[in-house]
Amino acid sequence: MERRWWTLIAIAMGVFMLLIDVTIVNVALPDIGRDLESSFSDLEWVVNAYSLMLAASLLVAGSLADLVGRRRVFVGGLVVFCLASLGCGLAGTPLVLNLLRGVQGIGGGMMFATSLALIAQAFHGPDRGIAFGVMGAVTGAAVAVGPLLGGLLTDGLGWEWIFFVNLPIGAIAGFLTLTKVSESRDPHPAGIDWIGAVLFSVALFLGIFGLVRGNAEGWGSTQIVGCLAGSVVLLVLFVLVELRREHPLFDLRLLRKPTFVGASMVAFCMSASLFSIFLYLTLYLQGVLDYGPLEAGLRFLPITGLMLLVGPIAGRLSAIVPVRALLGAGLLLVGVGLLLMRGVEPTSGWTVLVVGFVVAGIGSGLVNPPLASTAIGVVEPRRSGMASGINSTFRQVGIASGVAALGAVFQHHVHDELAAAAAGAPGAAGDPERIDQLAAAVTAGQTDRALQAIPSLSAEQLERLRDLADATFVSGLNTLFLITAIVALVGAAGAALLIRRQDFVVSQGAPAPPAAD
């Protein structure tokens, strides 16, 4: 086999591994919560720590690769990712797990930032399009099989194996990269914008931390107000610094093109809507409907399977159908799908979600392939790496901020409804402190454990409280469906209004850009 195809295999394995870790953990979260006695915010951080550090490290890793070599940074990312995966599987506390998930995200960012550049170096002419098409399929497959693979591993071997499985994959990918992939670097590197990197990373962390801890600490507390205000101030400073730098981490001039803004908006809204609600759907399937990890993973197939099936079709359609139409229609379908999921009742079975799952899955499949080509299609080739990195950053920030913001709304809604309904409950069940504990358990999908800890309740009273807990969870979930649907519809409007054909760049000898109008 030619060396370039080995390059594609090595890079695809690494990218598949880092992307699947965005979704593979979802169906394992209830098991992680029980084994490590995790709170709801702990479970949020299992998702957020990874997405947050992946977003924060992408652009820095790309600049570092220009300096020291892209293959070297990719292999370094593999090593960091695999060592962190080993640590995640061995973690005995939520804090250790979440810290190592952050380290995993850094390793993932190092791989993701260099993957397309290494493939572009190895492939030329028509074969480059084939290679990028394969990478698009890998991206779709990673999202699609994540919940199912997570369920298989968690049910069969334990939640630790969703992390341990990365070790053999990473070892093979590392060997192939070192032996089959050629090194490359920018002959005229611009250096690393460390000031911009620090400002951006700290601003993201403070904002997400404030959203995750807001309910627990109080939204008016000095800590939370300080975190949220600090995040805004640092983001403003980041913009001012980037505008003055000759070689910025984030070239804000790209935002002068409406199409690039539209593509970034679509990336953020897709992640902040459909992908962010996966956590809460998982807790519903396992915590309320009592499905096991594998059973929950199988029930996500109407979404994830259709993402995988529709993705290649959308890739072909992008050559003849306006990109604006594909992206707008895709997010519109996601929004409609989320609205169709709304209306779940405490007595509903999971099939009430199927129609919404199908519609949202088709919509997501329409968005992903043309989104990548749109982000890099509006810049000249030498800036495509930064454009791709910024679009990927918006995706990961969308997941992290979406999960955190939805969690804040969900916790508040469940606590208030549960407190109002259980205030007159008998004995310890009506105690305000006990209600706080029960609300925290309900949001984390650990209702049964909390109910068993309430003393002096009859079987009938326990059953009544369980029904009440399920009702408040479902009510909160319906609120999240509405919020995420609005986010998706805003993204659809952004695609329709901002993406324009005249913004696309056609370099000499290059194929025509995808249709935009």
- The model's pLDDT over 20-55, given as tens digits with 9 standing for 90+, comes to 887 788 888 888 888 888 877 788 888 888 888 888
Top pLDDT among 59 and 132 is at 59
Give the pLDDT mean for 144-168.
88
pTM for the full model?
0.83
The predicted-structure confidence for 170-188, as pLDDT tens digits, reads as follows 999 999 999 988 887 766 6
Gap between the Cα atoms of 140 and 294, Å rounded: 20
Query: Could you tell me the CA-to-CA distances from 47 to 43, 53, 96, 102, 283 in Å, in that order?
Result: 7, 11, 14, 9, 13
Give residue 77's identity as a one-letter amino acid code.
G
Nearest to 142 by CA among 314, 25, 316: 25
* 265 pLDDT more than 90: yes
Say if CB 37 and CB 153 are below 8 A apart. no
Gap between the Cα atoms of 187 and 90, Å rounded: 42
Question: What is residue 169's three-state secondary structure?
Answer: helix
Gap between the Cα atoms of 81 and 87, Å rounded: 10
Gap between the Cα atoms of 110 and 60, Å rounded: 8
Gap between the Cα atoms of 58 and 72, Å rounded: 15
Q: What would the two tokens of residue 446 be?
A: 């650990």
Nearest to 442 by CA among 42, 93, 46, 40: 40
Q: Specify the range with the lowest mean pLDDT, choosing from 191-200, 262-271, 366-375.
A: 366-375
Check residue 255 and report its DSSP letter.
G
Q: Which single residue is written with the structure tokens 């630790």? A: 160
Nearest to 94 by CA among 26, 34, 147: 34
| pLDDT grade for 290, boundaries at 50, 70 and 90 | confident
The predicted-structure confidence for 401-450, as pLDDT tens digits, reads as follows 888 888 888 888 887 887 777 665 554 455 666 667 777 777 776 666 66
Nearest to 469 by CA among 446, 449, 447: 447
Q: For residue 457, how many other CB atoms are within 10 A of its CB?
A: 18
Q: Give exposure, 77-101, as e/b (b: 16+ Cβ within 10 Å).
A: bbebbbbbbbbbbebeebeebbbbb
Residues 6+ apart with CB under 8 A from 197: 56, 59, 60, 249
| Per-position DSSP letters for 422-454, written without gaps between them | HTT-SGGGG-HHHHHHHHHHHHTT-HHHHHHTS
Q: Specify the range with the lowest mean pLDDT, choosing from 126-140, 141-155, 195-209.
A: 126-140
Gap between the Cα atoms of 257 and 39, Å rounded: 43
The predicted-structure confidence for 14-23, as pLDDT tens digits, reads as follows 988 888 887 7
The predicted-structure confidence for 299-336, as pLDDT tens digits, reads as follows 888 888 888 888 778 777 877 888 889 899 999 999 99
Residues 6+ apart with CB under 8 A from 316: none
Check residue 181 and report its DSSP letter.
P
Check residue 513 and report its DSSP letter.
P
How big, in percent rounded to 5, are the helix, strand and coil portions of the chain? 80, 0, 20
Separation of CA 479 from chain center = 20
Residues in the chain, overall count: 517
